């Protein structure tokens, strides 16, 4: 397998994943690597996908929300809409 093909496949799988533990492990592996370098021109990836990079504050809020969801500290959209409607009627 060509390195560039493998990178594209991994990028696609990472984007599709919603498994926070897996993504955090991938991040740790990348950060731990002393020799993490992209040896190809960035233009190779320009038209592949658009990636949104979150600020530290945004990422912290996302991480907090993910943990709350995993712990069951959330309500459904239907419940939220009902609460909003009740609040508006008061």
pLDDT of residue 5: 85
Does position 61 have pLDDT exceeding 60, yes or no?
Answer: yes
42 plus 68 within the same structural domain? no
Supply the pLDDT for residue 48. Answer: 61
**Backbone dihedral angles phi then psi of residue 12, each to the nearest 5 degrees:** -65, -45
Residues 4 and 45 in one domain: yes
Residues 42 and 58 in one domain: no
C-alpha–C-alpha distance, residues 44 and 38, integer Å: 11
- Same-domain check for residues 28 and 59: no
Per-residue pLDDT tens digits for 19-54: 998 888 888 888 777 554 555 555 555 556 666 788
Are 65 and 40 within one domain? Answer: no
Domain that holds residue 65: 54-90
pLDDT at residue number 53: 83
Together in a domain, 11 and 41? yes
| Rounded distance between C-alpha atoms, residue 46 and residue 9, angstroms | 15
What pLDDT score was predicted for residue 36? 47
Q: For position 42, what pLDDT does the model report?
A: 56
42 and 17 part of one domain = yes
Kindly state whether residues 21 and 62 are assigned to the same domain.
Answer: no
Is 48 in contact with 11 (CB distance < 8 Å)? Answer: yes
Structural domain count of the chain: 2
31 and 59 inside one domain = no
Q: For residues 54 and 70, what is the distance between their CA atoms, to the nearest angstrom? A: 21
């Amino acid at each position: 397998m060509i390195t560039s093909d493998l990178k594209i496949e991994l990028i696609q799988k990472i984007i599709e994943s919603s498994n926070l533990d897996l993504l955090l492990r991938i991040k740790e592996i990348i950060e731990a690597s002393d020799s993490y370098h992209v040896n190809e021109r960035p233009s190779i990836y320009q038209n592949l996908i658009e990636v949104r990079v979150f600020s530290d504050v945004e990422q912290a809020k996302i991480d907090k929300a993910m943990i709350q969801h995993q712990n069951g500290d959330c309500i459904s959209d239907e419940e939220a809409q009902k609460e909003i409607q009740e609040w508006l009627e008061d």
